[in-house]
Amino acid sequence: MTASALDRDRVVFRRTHAHKGRHLAVTPANSATKHLSYGRIRLDAEVPGVSFDAGAEEVGLVCLQGAGTVTVDGQSFAMGRYDAMYIPRDAHVDVRTDAAVDLAEFRAPVENRYPLRHVRYAEVVADPGLHFRAGGPSSSRTLNMLLAKNVEAGRLMAGVTWSEPGHWTSWPPHEHAALAEELYVYYDMPPEAFGIQLVYTDRLEPERIEMVRDGDVVIMPKGFHPNVSIPGYAISFLWIMAADRELEDRKFGAVNVHPDFAQTPSGLDKGR
């Protein structure tokens, strides 16, 4: 296997939603991440529940589909679409459903224990600093900051972004490698829909130009990372970040815009 192929295997993961039950698809052991792990918890009548321990990592959960109940150290919380949870290290977690649920799970190691937090999506929509539109012609999208400045945590940050059909997101091209690593999880895209994800440090020789579909993950340990949806279809993705330094680098809306687009507002300042 060539070095370039090996590198690609550590930053691009396909169909991460294909497993029933609980499955971690991305970890520092099999990917380019230093801190961040990601997986899915998909439950239904056949597999109605799972349990696991946080250990030395803080854990985030985001409900992408369905509904279920998450119990953390004996406290139970109902989870509906786009509800989120922040779970402190050393916690025990149980997830159950009476029908079906699809949760994204993500983790990062921390030294400290931060408060358990249940974030209802209704709270996010009601806060203009957490739910807002950004971009202009051909780059308009909706951002939802689910685990951001509204949650006390050590490293983890997460939210969901929806493009308009055929539009760019993560525009203008920006990066934040000095503060955090990031990955995008594409979801809620019909089989015929796809997007194009770029990751580059050199604008003439991009490191990644990837077709992305439902369930795909692209890791951005560094580099500018705009993406675009095909005409007639939107792209939806869960973005997950892990700060390099616990607490100190956990910042919102702090991005380095590519010099070619320095005059274009990122629109992310609302999330600070």
pLDDT at 3: 42
pLDDT at 5: 46
CA 60 to chain centre: 10
pLDDT range class, residue 255, cuts 50, 70, 90? confident
Place of tokens 């799972």: 50
pLDDT higher than threshold 80 for residue 244: yes
Angle value at C-alpha 103, between 98 and 105, nearest 5 degrees: 135
Residues written for the chain: 272
Q: What's the Rg (C-alpha) of the chain?
A: 18
pLDDT range class, residue 252, cuts 50, 70, 90? confident
pLDDT at 143: 96
pLDDT higher than threshold 90 for residue 262: no
pLDDT higher than threshold 60 for residue 2: no
Spell out the residues 6+ positions from residue 268 whose beta carbon is closer than 8 angstroms to its own.
Answer: 134, 143, 174, 252, 253, 255
Higher pLDDT, 267 or 142: 142
Place of tokens 């990917």: 31
Q: State if pTM tops 0.85.
A: yes
CA 58 to chain centre: 15
Three-state SS at 3: helix
Asked whether the beta carbons of 2 and 203 are under 8 A apart, the reply is no
Q: What is the number of H-type helices and E-type strands within the chain?
A: 2, 23
- Residue 66 zone, left/alpha/beta (φ > 0; ψ -120 to 50; rest): left
pLDDT range class, residue 265, cuts 50, 70, 90? low
Report pLDDT digits (tens) over 208-223: 999 999 999 999 999 9
Could you tell me what percent of the chain has a pLDDT over 70?
A: 95
pLDDT at 121: 98
Report pLDDT digits (tens) over 142-191: 999 999 999 999 999 999 999 999 999 998 888 888 899 999 999 999 99
Report the DSSP pairing between strands 256-257 and 131-134. unpaired
Mean pLDDT along residues 69-94: 98
User: Which regions of 149-216 does DSSP assign to beta strands (E)?
Assistant: 156-163, 168-169, 174-175, 180-187, 195-199, 208-212
